[in-house]
Amino acid sequence: MPIFDWLTGKLATYVCGALLATNLVAGAGLLITRHTLSNRTVDLATEKKLHQIDIDHWQSVVAQATADDEKHAAQVAQAQAQIATETQNALKAQIADARAVASSWLREHPAPAIKSGSGTANLPKTPGSSEGIDGSPPAAIVPSSDIEACAQDYVIANGWKEWWAKVQPTMVDSSP
């Protein structure tokens, strides 16, 4: 059996050599894999830190922008409230002046006296007639309440226009 011993010895050597080579290749592959995994773990940790830094920065910027917006909104509200108060006070004074002017005008321009018992019927006159239905000269007789209301409404309309001219820039300017 010397051939058998020789074959088994040679075969065992080849098998052991093949196993050793396989083991070396597997070990080298394992080392490369561990090294790559270690690098990837470090890269992942770095990416996580950078991502957290981005999140923190974004949150601080959003918080600052929100605070700036709230501050600006408060400033606009304060400016508009001040304009409204000033306009309202000015309108009260202007309305009082307008009512005084209307009352003065009414005192200076009394309604014409209406003739009574002229003997004419209350029939409408033709257009272009020189006198009213009762024989009096044509005149616009406007109730004093209408004159006061007209004066007041005129002042209010102008007040709205002035208020809008003052408040519009606060609405358009959106910079904090």
Express each pLDDT in 4-24 by its tens digit.
Answer: 666 677 777 888 889 999 999
Q: Is 152 exposed, middle or buried (0-12, 13-18, 19+ CB in 10 A)?
A: middle
pTM above threshold 0.95: no
What confidence tier does 3 reach under pLDDT thresholds 50, 70, 90?
low
The structure tokens listed for 80 are 């508009």
* Residue 67 pLDDT exceeds 80: yes
- Averaged pLDDT, 36-59: 93
Q: What confidence tens digit (pLDDT) does each residue in 137-176 have?
A: 555 567 778 888 888 888 888 888 888 888 888 877 555 4
The CA distance from 118 to 140, in Å, is 20
Give the separation between CA 14 and CA 42, rounded to whole angstroms. Answer: 42
Q: How much is the pLDDT for 9?
A: 73
pLDDT tens figures, 86-138: 989 998 999 999 988 888 888 887 766 555 555 455 555 555 555 555 555 55
The pLDDT score that the predictor gives to residue 144 is 77
Of the candidates 31, 136, 150, which has an alpha carbon nearest to the alpha carbon of residue 98? 150
Q: Identify the residue whose tokens are 């196993």.
A: 19
- Of 144, 161, 163, nearest to 99 by C-alpha is 144
- Write down the pLDDT at residue 23: 92
Q: Say what the pLDDT of residue 49 is.
A: 96
Encode the chain in three state secondary structure.
Answer: CHHHHHHHHHHHHHHHHHHHHHHHHHHHHHHHHHHHHHHHHHHHHHHHHHHHHHHHHHHHHHHHHHHHHHHHHHHHHHHHHHHHHHHHHHHHHHHHHHHHHHHHHHHHCCCCCCCCCCCCCCCCCCCCCCCCCCCCCCCCCCCHHHHHHHHHHHHHHHHHHHHHHHHHHHHHCCCC
